Amino acid sequence: MATQQGSAVPAGHEEYYVPESSGMAISATIGLLLSIYGAASVLNDMTFGEPGAETNSWTIFICGLFWFVATLFMWFRTAIRENRAGMNSAQLKKSYVLGMFWFIFSEVMFFFVFFSVLFYVRVLVGPWLAGEGEAGAMNHLLWPGFEFDWPTMQTPQEAVGGAAGQPIANHGEFFSPHTSMAFGEVEHWWHWLPMWNTVILLSSSVTVHIAHLGLLENNRGKLNLWLGITVALASVFLALQVLEYHEAYTLYGLTLNSGIYGSTFFMLTGFHGFHVAMGMTMLLVQWLRSIRGGHFTADDHFGFEASSWYWHFVDVVWVMLFLFVYIF
């Protein structure tokens, strides 16, 4: 690996590390491309080879995904090794910090969209469809009988007697749930999973912080213990989330087809769940690095820090979810 040989470097500005050319990006591209090509083909039921047979594009998708994940693994391994070999200047480390920070910001914007969608349909669209304000004609000509409340327990389509009776063509069929996820709808409070999930996720933010303190105190045992607990909490959260989805589908009739309530519910919680899984993987990697490789020192532990920021971010999103999806 090449570092620049310079003289007379001004204070505060070190020699800059310019990595050697690298094949990782092109490899990642190949993986990404294969996986999206495969995914799109799966969704379109496309088959290679004999037409008409069940889609075999899964193979492409899974190979691509595997390739991509493997590349990412190599990539991060390289970055970690470079750092441990002392090749990263303070300036490069700061670039990594900036990169992670603004990456999280872009994630914030991603969730911002779905929350905005939620507010838009709840505050504006629903009442319009129900004929509020100037929209009287809309309701009595198109959706007679539709009344809006949130969570919507009856879609406009159902209000007019199902897909056959609706005034517009070909937009699919939407069946409302019989029970919503809101507090009070579900039989007993201790059976209300979102509350447990909130407790779990909030405490996991605390545990990851304790782990960080352990790291700063050079207390490896404390770090490993609390980080391990965090990962465990994360997996419990995910398990409960899966359970919740299962109940939604089997007990409450709440599905992706449940009109806008189901759509926003699964979109928000689903993407959140996906981010929890990513955050958990990141924390797990840091945990393994710590116990297996003894990585991290009190003043150099960006991998850990980045993962914990991410974790706090995921946590904040959950709090918003809890408030606006489950409670209000």
- CB of 79: closest distance to another protein in angstroms? 8
Determine if 5 is a binding residue for another protein (CB under 8 A).
yes
- CB of 220: closest distance to another protein in angstroms? 30
Please choose, out of 48-56, 88-96, 246-254, 304-312, the segment that lies near another protein by the rule CB under 8 A: 88-96
Q: Tokens for 248?
A: 């939604």
> Using CB under 8 A, which of 86, 172, 184, 294 touches another protein?
172
Contact indicator for 206, 212 with CB cutoff of 8 Å = no
Nearer to another protein, 68 or 287 (CB): 68
Determine if 266 is a binding residue for another protein (CB under 8 A).
yes
The contact pattern for another protein, residues 224-263, with x = CB under 8 A and - = no contact, is -------------------------------xxxxxxxxx
Distance CA 271, CA 263 (A): 12
Distance CA 268, CA 183 (A): 17
Determine if 1 is a binding residue for another protein (CB under 8 A).
yes
Nearer to another protein, 181 or 211 (CB): 181
Identify the bridge partners of residue 3 per DSSP, sorted by sequence position: 17
DSSP sequence for 40-55 = HHHHTT--SSSTTSPP
Determine if 20 is a binding residue for another protein (CB under 8 A).
yes
Q: How many CB atoms lie within 10 A of CB 29?
A: 12
Q: Tokens for 288?
A: 């393994």
Q: Is 246 exposed, middle or buried (0-12, 13-18, 19+ CB in 10 A)?
A: exposed
- CB of 266: closest distance to another protein in angstroms? 7
Contact indicator for 95, 113 with CB cutoff of 8 Å = no
Distance CA 307, CA 55 (A): 37
Q: Which of positions 22-51 make contact with another protein (CB under 8 A)?
A: 22-26, 28-29, 32-33, 36-37, 39-40, 43-44
Determine if 129 is a binding residue for another protein (CB under 8 A).
yes
User: With contacts defined by CB under 8 A, how many residues of the chain interact with another protein?
Assistant: 94
Q: How many CB atoms lie within 10 A of CB 241?
A: 19
> Using CB under 8 A, which of 58, 73, 91, 218 touches another protein?
91
Closest CA to 128 of 150, 145, 147, 109: 147
The contact pattern for another protein, residues 137-166, with x = CB under 8 A and - = no contact, is xx--xxx----x---x--xxx-----xx-x
> Using CB under 8 A, which of 77, 84, 94, 191 touches another protein?
94
Q: Tokens for 269?
A: 């919680």
Nearer to another protein, 211 or 260 (CB): 260
- CB of 156: closest distance to another protein in angstroms? 6
- CB of 195: closest distance to another protein in angstroms? 26
Please choose, out of 13-21, 181-189, 226-234, 315-323, the segment that lies near another protein by the rule CB under 8 A: 13-21
Contact indicator for 107, 314 with CB cutoff of 8 Å = no
Determine if 117 is a binding residue for another protein (CB under 8 A).
yes
Grouping H, G, I as helix, E, B as strand and the rest as coil, residue 14 is coil
254: left (phi over 0), alpha (psi -120 to 50) or beta: beta
- CB of 13: closest distance to another protein in angstroms? 5
